Amino acid sequence: MESWLFLALVLVVALVGKNMSLIIATGVVMALKLIPFASKWLPVIQAKGINWGVTVISVAILIPIATGQIGFKDLINTFKLPAGWIAILAGIAVAILSRYGVDQLAAIPQVTVALVLGTIIGVVVFKGVAAGPVIASGMTYLVITLFNLHF
């Protein structure tokens, strides 16, 4: 019963914050809880979901290459600008930090509660996005803005 109340609270917060991603995610989890045999899927989704999400985000990021919007010229130009180097370094930093984060979650699972709460607050209150690779872009934006650099 507690899990239903918690999910309902998350749904209410998402509705108040008008965050469609969180509304859909909460609805999907609630729907899965209603399906009798879906309880076997929940641990699999919990274990593999982040990787699936990163894969979907990676596909979306690669689409401009597939459509020709981004080519080798753009890649070469990346190395000519400070903002390009910052973006590369931010991507490396996020990948390294994420590895340590995954290790920490395995060692101290209680951190997950704080991460979920922080993510919900960040998404709903601050209109953030709950996505890992986007962090690199956000870090890049921060440094570019702080030093008034632009692509």
| pLDDT tens-digit map of 43-63 | 888 888 877 887 888 899 899
Nearest to 124 by CA among 27, 18, 25, 28: 18
The pLDDT tens digits of the residues spanning 96-133 come to 877 776 666 667 767 667 777 877 888 888 888 776 55
Residue 39 is given by DSSP the state G
User: Which string of b and e fits 121-147 if b means at least 16 CB within 10 Å?
Assistant: eebbeeebeebbbebbbebbeebbeee
Long-range contacts of 112-116 (CB under 8 A, 24+ apart): none
Tokens representing 29 are: 């989890």
What is the pTM (predicted TM-score) of this model? 0.65
Taking 70 as the threshold, does the pLDDT of residue 139 lie above it?
no
The confidence score (pLDDT) of residue 77 equals 92
